[in-house]
Structures are given as C-alpha cells and as structure tokens.
Amino acid sequence: GNSVTQMEGPVTLSEEAFLTINCTYTATGYPSLFWYVQYPGEGLQLLLKATKADDKGSNKGFEATYRKETTSFHLEKGSVQVSDSAVYFCALRYGGGGSEKLVFGKGTKLTVNP
Amino acid sequence: DTGVSQDPRHKITKRGQNVTFRCDPISEHNRLYWYRQTLGQGPEFLTYFQNEAQLEKSRLLSDRFSAERPKGSFSTLEIQRTEQGDSAMYLCASSFGRASYEQYFGPGTRLTVT
C-alpha cells in the first residue's frame, strides 16, 4: 500500500543552521506530495506541495523537490529561525481510484535554539 | 473565511460512554475529511464526504464509529461504547473542488477515555 517514511526526530538546530528533513514514499502511480507543519497548540497547516515529478514546492524559505527516481521529497531550508520550531509531516495523496485521503509520515519535531 | 472549526476542543469521558464531535468546514467546501492522530504519530485517515455522501471509509473506522454529514455542511463523528484505545486527537479537514489538492485542517478535538 501507499506509505510515507520520514526522518526520525527530534531535530535540534541553532538559529541560521541548514535544515534537511528526509522523506521517502511508496506508492503506485503518481501521487501528489505535501509537507504540513504543526506549530505548538495549533492545527496542521499546508507548508508546500508538488504534484508531479521534478516539481519544486516552496514557501517561507522552505523547499522540497519531487524526485520520482528516488521516491523522495526532502524538506530543506537554508537558514532556520526560532519561529520554525514545530512538527513537520510529509504526506502523499494518491488520487488513483478516486481516493482523496492523505497518507502521513510520523512527523519530525524540530527545535531551533537562539 | 473563518477556517475549519471543531467542537469540543477537549473531551474527557469514561470507558463505555458515547461521544459525538462536530466539524464545521470552510463554507462552500464540498469535501470533508476525518483523521485520527495518536501521540507521536501522523494523522490517519478515517473517512471522507463529498457533499452529503460518504465516499470512503478506512478499516480503522470500526462498527462503533459513525460519521454523518446530513446537509452537506457540518459533520458529526460519533464513537459508541468508547474504549481507552480511542484516546486520540480527532482532526477534521475540508477542501473544495474535484482537484482538491489542499486540505485545510481544523484545530482538532482531543479525546481522553478514562
């Protein structure tokens, strides 16, 4: 079945450090890929998305590229801020057969220290 | 646009009791989704509606769970004869249109079964 595997956390970085959170997926067909973020005490928010191979999603300085050959969608940011501290979830949506559900990874908790 | 709202935000109940949660989607969103999130895990899909029709249900949705969206607007999720394993965050999301790539999440209802 469809599944998402993402880097185990927690991840702790200093402000202005480079961030990578790895995400790989297993899916039949051509899923859409997402990164969601959950700030403390808040609901899930869509951070960025990519709907086909080689697409790059970007938002708020975060980027991720849909790599079909490696079935990956790694999240990167060149310089993290304290305000980026949150839990990040990689997810896929496989539209084949009419399914609309999102399949999530377990989440990676990021803490950025000043 | 006030976002997806859920009520209550927290619910504590004793094992064996019935509970009902409500979700109000973003107005004019025709699709509504329910997910469950346990501690340290990503959200897991439970069910989704297009207008008032329930189009997909997960195997996680046992006979004790029932969801409705009677007029294609708000939805309710009922759990009968609650068990301690039902303790989780119940998330609602909504989206619009056929190519509904973006699901907007509510803040969730945290259920604790004692």
Q: Is the previous residue joined to A10 through a cis bond, with omega within 30 degrees of 0? A: yes
Q: What is the pLDDT of residues A29-82, one digit of tens each?
A: 889 999 999 998 888 999 999 998 999 999 999 999 999 999 999 999 999 999
Whether residues B101 and A32 touch (CB distance < 8 A) is answered with yes
Whether residues B103 and A89 touch (CB distance < 8 A) is answered with no
pLDDT at B100 > cutoff 80: no
What's residue A26's pLDDT? Answer: 93
Is A27 within 8 Å of A41 (Cβ atoms)? no
Q: Is the previous residue joined to B8 through a cis bond, with omega within 30 degrees of 0? A: yes
What's residue B60's pLDDT? Answer: 83
> From B45, which residue of chain A is nearest by alpha-carbon distance?
A101
For the segment B36-64, the average pLDDT, to the nearest whole number, is 91
Residue of A57, A63, A67, A88 whose CA lies nearest to A75: A63
Question: For the ranges A76-80, B24-28, B33-37, which has the lowest average pLDDT?
Answer: B24-28
Q: Which of residues 77-106 of B touch A (CB under 8 A)?
A: 91, 93, 95, 100-106
- Kindly state the tokens that stand for B38: 């346990």
Whether residues B56 and A101 touch (CB distance < 8 A) is answered with yes
In DSSP terms, A34 is beta-bridged to: A49, A91
